[in-house]
Structure formats: C-alpha cells, structure tokens
Structure 1
Amino acid sequence: MQLTRLVYASHHGGTSEEALRDIFDRSCKNNANDGITGLLIAGDEDFLQLLEGGRTAVAECMMRIMKDDRHQRIRVLLAGESESRLFSQWSMRCLRAAEIPLEIQDRYWVNGVFDPVQLPQAKIEGLCLALSEDNSDKTPEMTG
C-alpha cells in the first residue's frame, strides 16, 4: 500500500456540538473500516483535517467529505505520498481549536486566530507534527 497524506480546510460556518459529535463518530467508524488515520481540528467557523492511508481509501474518503453539506469551500492544502503515519494511534483525533495547547496556538495561529487557509505549507506540516507529538489528549475522543 502506498501511504498517502492529504490535508484540507473547509468552512462549516459554526456547527453545533451535536453535528461535531456526529462528524467525529462517523469519521472514526469509516476510517477504522478503511484503514485511515488522521486529525480533525474544529474551529469556530472552519475545519482542518489530515487524512492518512492508502491512496484509494483517502480519495474515497475525500469524495464523501465533498458530498457532505457540513463542509463548504473545501480547499486541499497538502497532498502527497508519506513514509509514515503521524496519527497511527487514532482513526481520527478530533480537537477543538480553542483547546489546543497555547504554546502550539502561539506558533501556528495567524494573528492569534485559527485560520487554516492562511497557513503556509511549512506551518501546516509543523502544526500536524506538533499535534501528533502532543500528549495532552491521550484518548482517541473529541476533547471538551
């Protein structure tokens, strides 16, 4: 299997706790079935999601996301081959942007705001790496 990593941002315009929980639950179930791991950050208005797995599985997952009306203005920020997984222990690690440790926010937020579309490639990669190494959330569940 060729390991693929894809990072995208989408606009949700302010989604409810119930909708976030549904997205998380479906992501965990689908990803576990498809051999996908990753990260989902939910900001006040936007998502940033990293998917990693086989090329076909990631592409099919992205197609499902594109059909989901909770994701608007989807922008692929990074895509390509990867040698290893960053989030191998989570089918989907879900975090609220506001609950990410301040030292990580200080390095990667744009003018103090979670704005994934404004992040350059190096900062996206750095943010994902920092969160893969962050041990403040040991369980594979949405925090908060």
Structure 2
Amino acid sequence: MKWVSKDVETYLTAKEYVDTAVIPLISVSFGNEMKQSASSTEFITLLTNYLERQFTGRLMLFPPFTFLKSDDLEDVFGKLKNWEANIEKNDFKYIFYITSDSDWKKYEKKLTGPLIWLPSLPLEHLNDSQKVSMIESQVKQLLSLFTQKWHENL
C-alpha cells in the first residue's frame, strides 16, 4: 500500500494485516552532486514502488524521508527517530529503511528496523524494460530479507 488516500482508506479497514512500514531515505544535493542525488532518488523510488507492489496488503510504503545532504546527519537522525516512534505507536511491527546514502550505515544499530543500503544503479541510459529488469533483480534479493525478518517473530 502506498501513502495515497485510496490505499490508506483500505489500510484503515484492514490494518491488522498491514504490519510493515517501508521508509525510503533520500538525500538531496546540489551543485556537482545534484545529478547523482537525482539518480539515487530515481533508483530508490523505482525500487520501493516495485517492492510495494510485491507485498501489497502486507506493507505500507511511506513517503520518502527527505533531507539535504549538507544537513547535520545527527539532527536528521533525531527527526527520523521521531517518525519511527510515531510509526511504532500506530501498530506497525516492522520498519524497513531503504537508502543509497552510505552515511546512514553508522546509524544502523540505532534504528528499530533493518537498514537496507543499496548502491544506486545508474538508470538514465536504460530503456523502460531494462529498468524494470534491473529493479526486479534487486527486489528479488530483498524479498528474502523481508520474509526472513517476518519469520523471526513467528
């Protein structure tokens, strides 16, 4: 389910089945890093949207947690922990974070749920079918991470 009114309405009537939150972590850069920032955003957005389609009815894809790359990451982390607390209060048992920003690795152990770091794959020179194929390949690898986490708590 996505963070759109129709899906949220469905969630509210069937929330006992939707126990997983996915939060994309997106950094925005300007200047020389702007193109790489946009490329990473495109990759993570396509990946999380495809992941959401695979697990519709089990997970909620939250809007990206977006921040400036130039911001102090300690402050950004504090804001993310606030999101996390609110998500947990609202009955999500699992929270997954997905990012291409390697700076988040140092906060991995301080997060409630797993941090999935994936290096951004350049998509700008691929046609749509090549993009889908590449994203499908990445998502297949992620499926086992999700199911493993869910089975740990059975």
Pair in the same fold by TM > 0.5: no
User: What is the TM-score of this pair, normalised by structure 2?
Assistant: 0.32
More helix by share: 2
The structure having more radius of gyration, on CA atoms, is 2
State TM-score, norm by structure 1.
0.34
